A and B are shown apart, each in its own frame.
Chain A
Amino acid sequence: MDLTHDLTSVIAKSFGLFYLIALSVGITVYAYWPSLGKRFDKAANSILDDEDGPCR
């Protein structure tokens, strides 16, 4: 099958749309998943005091 302009435009207009929607839903769910809140807070605060040297 040739990779024609028509074919690529059909892929872009169908699959391209749906995978971006799926991605944005997936990422929003991940970012707002309740049980991850503590981990994110810890990460956000972890950089404020990090000069005490590496652990390994």
Chain B
Amino acid sequence: MMERLTGAERQIALIICVVMAIVGLVMAAAGHGDPMGSHGAIVLIAAGITTFFVLRAIGEPEPAEDRTVDYYDDPTKAGLVIALFWAVVGMGMGVWVAAQLAWPDLRIDAAWSSFGRIRPVHTSGVIFGFGGNALIATSYHVMQRTSRARLAGHVSPWFVLLGFNLFCIIAASGYLMGVTQSKEYAEPEWYADIWLVIVWVVYFVLYIRTLARRNEPHIYVANWYYLAFILVVAILHIVNNLAVPASLTGAKSYSAFAGVQDAMTQWWYGHNAVAFFLTAGFLGMLYYFLPKRAERPIYSYRLSILSFWGIVFFYIWAGSHHLHYTALPQWVQTLGMTFSVMLLVPSWASAGNALMTLNGAWHKVRDDATLRFMMVAAVFYGLSTFEGSFMAVRAVNSLSHYTDWTVGHVHAGAMGWVALITFGSIYSVVPLLWKRETMYSWKLVEWHFWLALAGTVIYVFAMWNSGIIQGLMWRTYTDSGTLAYSFTDTLVAMHPYYVARACGGALFLTGAILAAYNVYMTIRHAPEKRPERDYPTSSEAVEPAVPAAE
């Protein structure tokens, strides 16, 4: 793929690789004996592999293609394949974590395999590895199409994609070594955080520069969602990760905030990671791929603008609902609760807009599993945002907080909404990007759909039951005013649901494996599609303006 870069671009890529290798070497040397040293070695290896691919192309002739006639889709393709790899890894870890809770012997007695270490590998693997790569890849696709402009740069999209994956690998390997700053969804330590800021700024600049080249007067709404995702995640990430390293040669750092301020900053970050990483970006996907697949424009474009600003300005205040009944001032808790309830309006506006777009095309939903993925994703989006608003109410939260109900809610969102819209988008975009007629097997898509839906429903119902039983047992008192149940009693009561949850997760994982196989076979074996479109031809173009007689 590096052959499509010009000579000058290959040189820039090589310089970046060499700088990375030096950074890795310094980290490995300075952090010797600390997990930071191992991370230095990982950076060095990653730089070495990338250097190999660049060097292999460096002597090749300049690319002959005319860059003005086509979109640049190589990074998108790579990103989608990487996202599917992370889906299998992240969801596989999830099934293992769930199975550990049901059958504790599966912990296999090593330090790295303990629940506290592999759980963040699951969460980060799915959210950042699978979700993040899918967002980056589809954003490259959408920004070019909606702007009718080629990506503004050929090295920077690769830098963002590969740099982000280096971050993911450093994060996941760090968790296994015990590196964490104990902030949910922000576990990686300071050097990984700094690296992500660099990658993210390049991503933002790339997006803005591509939009600046656009040939449409209006920026299509999907781009607004993707941009909100990039911009707000950058702000959240920088503020929440403000920390002082204990030493420049070690991984350990201390947060710049203390006590309840630290908790508030963390949940301002944490809930907006849900809002802007797991919602805004994927709404961008929804607003592009759902109308496209249904071959109908979005039901109400005006409503999509209203719900965009509603989501952006309400979500940012909602984080304090994670801290009900804590040392956080009561009015801040109430503020978070109120905004969470108000959020239902823009959230349902988006879900309703998606479903109304399909109104009149239900036969397509019936026949096309890819579109059905997106339809069910919109339904789960509506369900889980309703549930979220409900759980943010203080009285409900007193029952649900710290129980499996929260876990069920997160998975209704992550599996039912985020993963399904992503799989739907992948199935609709893969044949297009690799110029195939269809996916390799529509039956496998159909199998994947039902496995994913069954897995999600089993998972969510198991966690609702488990969480509510757990919450009720925790708050049941005897006549003499003591707690009626011990903690162990609650665990015994939850065990059957833990088994059911592991089974639901396994079904979902099976679906993801089918997706990875199907995409691989599509790339390798599906019949090629002859392009139907007219290629714009310039005087230098190789093709004749009038095709030769056949």
A residues engaging B (CB < 8 A)?
5, 9, 12-13, 20, 23-24, 27-28, 30-32, 37, 39-48, 50-56
Interchain CB contact under 8 A, A43 and B150:
no
Interchain CB contact under 8 A, B297 and A45:
yes
Instruction: Flag B301-332 by CB within 8 Å of A: 1 or 0 each.
Output: 11101100110010000000000000001010
Instruction: Flag B524-550 by CB within 8 Å of A: 1 or 0 each.
Output: 000000000111100000000000000
Number of B interface residues, CB 8 Å? Answer: 42
Partner of A54, one of B148, B301, B331: B148
Residues of B within 8 A of A43 (CB): 216, 218, 220-221, 301
**Across the two chains, which residue of chain B brings its CB closest to A41?**
B301
Partner of A48, one of B216, B221, B295: B295
Partner of B309, one of A23, A53, A54: A23
Interchain CB contact under 8 A, A46 and B305:
no
Interchain CB contact under 8 A, A54 and B70:
yes
Say how far A41's CB is from chain B's closest CB, in angstroms: 7
Residues of A within 8 A of B213 (CB): 56
Say how far B223's CB is from chain A's closest CB, in angstroms: 10
**Across the two chains, which residue of chain A brings its CB closest to B210?**
A54
Interchain CB contact under 8 A, B306 and A44:
no
Q: Cβ of B215 < 8 Å from any Cβ of A?
A: yes
21 contacts between A and B (CB under 8 A): A9-B331, A24-B310, A31-B303, A32-B302, A40-B302, A41-B297, A43-B220, A44-B291, A47-B222, A47-B292, A48-B292, A50-B148, A51-B145, A52-B534, A53-B69, A53-B71, A54-B148, A54-B215, A55-B148, A55-B149, A56-B215
- Chain A: interface secondary structure? helix
**Across the two chains, which residue of chain B brings its CB closest to A42?**
B218
**Across the two chains, which residue of chain A brings its CB closest to B292?**
A47
Residues of B within 8 A of A40 (CB): 218, 301-302, 305
Partner of B68, one of A30, A46, A54: A54
Q: Complex Cα distance A51/B146, Å?
A: 10
Given contacts A47-B297, A54-B68, 17 further A-B contacts (CB under 8 A): A23-B309, A31-B305, A40-B218, A40-B302, A41-B301, A42-B218, A43-B216, A43-B301, A46-B220, A47-B222, A47-B291, A47-B292, A48-B292, A50-B146, A51-B432, A54-B148, A56-B148
Interchain CB contact under 8 A, B295 and A5:
no
Interchain CB contact under 8 A, A47 and B144:
no
Q: Complex Cα distance A43/B145, Å?
A: 12
Q: Cβ of B288 < 8 Å from any Cβ of A?
A: yes
Say how far A2's CB is from chain B's closest CB, in angstroms: 15
Interchain CB contact under 8 A, B302 and A31:
yes
Residues of B within 8 A of A23 (CB): 309, 313
**Across the two chains, which residue of chain B brings its CB closest to A30?**
B305
Q: Complex Cα distance A53/B303, Å?
A: 29
Say how far B351's CB is from chain A's closest CB, in angstroms: 18
Say how far B512's CB is from chain A's closest CB, in angstroms: 27
Residues of A within 8 A of B145 (CB): 47, 50-51
A-B pairs with lowest CB-CB distance, top 3 = A44-B297, A55-B215, A40-B301
Say how far A6's CB is from chain B's closest CB, in angstroms: 11
Q: Complex Cα distance A41/B250, Å?
A: 55
Residues of B within 8 A of A41 (CB): 297, 301
Q: Complex Cα distance A13/B317, Å?
A: 13
Given A27-B309, A43-B218, A47-B220; A56-B301 close (CB under 8 Å): no
Residues of A within 8 A of B298 (CB): 44
Residues of B within 8 A of A30 (CB): 305
B window 497-533: CB within 8 A of A: 533
Q: Complex Cα distance A40/B215, Å?
A: 15
